[in-house]
C-alpha cells in the first residue's frame, strides 16, 4: 500500500502516517500552536523540556503531540487538531513565565535547521569515528549513546556504531 508521512514541516521527527489508495487525497489533522511570552522583558529562557513538561501537566498524551520547535521568541508546538484548541485555551504558564497561545495552520510555519560544518580527518567513515571528530568524546563513550537511540542519520534512527556513512549524510 502507498503511504505518506507528515509532521507539520519537512524534517519533522514525529510524524503521522497515512496509508492511501491511489485516488484518495488526504489532509493531515495537524495544526501548530504558537507560544510566546506575555512580557518578553520578564520571561525566562525556556527549553524544550519546559514546554513538554507544561503540556504533560495539562494531561495531554504524548501521542497527540508532534515536534516542539523552540526559538528565541517562543515556540511552535505541532499537535493533532483535536487537541490544539485545548492547548491554546489552557496553556497559560510555562515555569514562571506567562504565555500567549494561538493556533496556526502548518503552512504558515517555516523552519530551517541550523547546520554547522565541521572538518577533520578520520581513519574510516564509521559512525562512531566520525562522531568522535564532531564531539569531544572518545569512541568508547559514544557507543552507549548510539546504541541507546540518540543518533539519527538522515532522520533515521541508527543504533549500530559500525554504520558506514556516505557522502552527503546528515
DSSP string, 24-90: ------EEEEEEEES-GGG-----HHHHHHHHHHTT--GGGEEEEEEETTEEEEEEEHHHHHHHHHH
Contact present, 46 and 75 (Cβ < 8 Å) = yes
Tens-of-pLDDT digits for all 170 residues of the chain? 778 888 888 888 888 888 877 766 778 889 999 999 999 998 999 999 999 999 999 999 999 999 999 988 899 999 999 999 999 999 999 999 999 999 998 887 888 877 788 888 888 899 999 999 888 888 889 999 999 988 888 878 899 988 999 988 88
Residues paired with residue 97 on neighbouring β-strands, in sequence order: 94
pTM of the predicted protein model:
0.76
Contact present, 3 and 20 (Cβ < 8 Å) = yes
Q: Can you read off the three cell numbers belonging to residue 158?
A: 541508527
Is 17 exposed, middle or buried, given 0-12, 13-18 or 19+ CB atoms closer than 10 A? exposed
Amino acid at each position: 500500500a502507498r503511504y505518506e508521512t507528515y509532521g507539520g514541516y519537512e524534517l519533522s521527527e514525529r510524524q503521522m502516517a497515512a496509508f492511501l489508495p491511489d485516488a484518495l487525497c488526504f489532509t493531515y489533522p495537524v495544526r501548530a500552536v504558537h507560544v510566546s511570552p506575555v512580557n518578553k522583558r520578564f520571561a525566562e529562557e525556556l527549553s524544550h523540556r519546559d514546554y513538554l513538561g507544561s503540556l504533560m501537566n495539562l494531561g495531554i498524551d504524548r501521542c497527540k503531540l508532534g515536534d516542539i520547535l523552540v526559538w528565541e521568541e517562543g515556540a511552535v508546538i505541532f499537535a493533532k487538531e483535536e487537541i490544539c484548541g485545548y492547548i491554546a485555551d489552557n496553556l497559560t504558564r510555562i515555569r514562571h513565565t506567562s504565555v500567549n497561545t494561538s493556533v496556526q495552520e502548518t503552512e504558515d510555519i517555516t523552519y530551517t535547521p541550523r547546520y554547522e560544518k565541521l572538518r577533520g580527518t578520520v581513519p574510516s567513515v564509521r559512525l562512531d569515528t566520525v562522531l568522535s571528530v564532531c564531539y569531544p568524546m572518545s569512541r568508547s563513550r559514544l557507543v552507549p549513546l548510539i546504541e541507546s537511540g540518540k543518533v539519527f542519520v538522515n532522520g533515521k534512527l541508527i543504533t549500530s556504531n559500525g554504520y558506514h556513512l556516505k557522502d552527503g549524510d546528515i
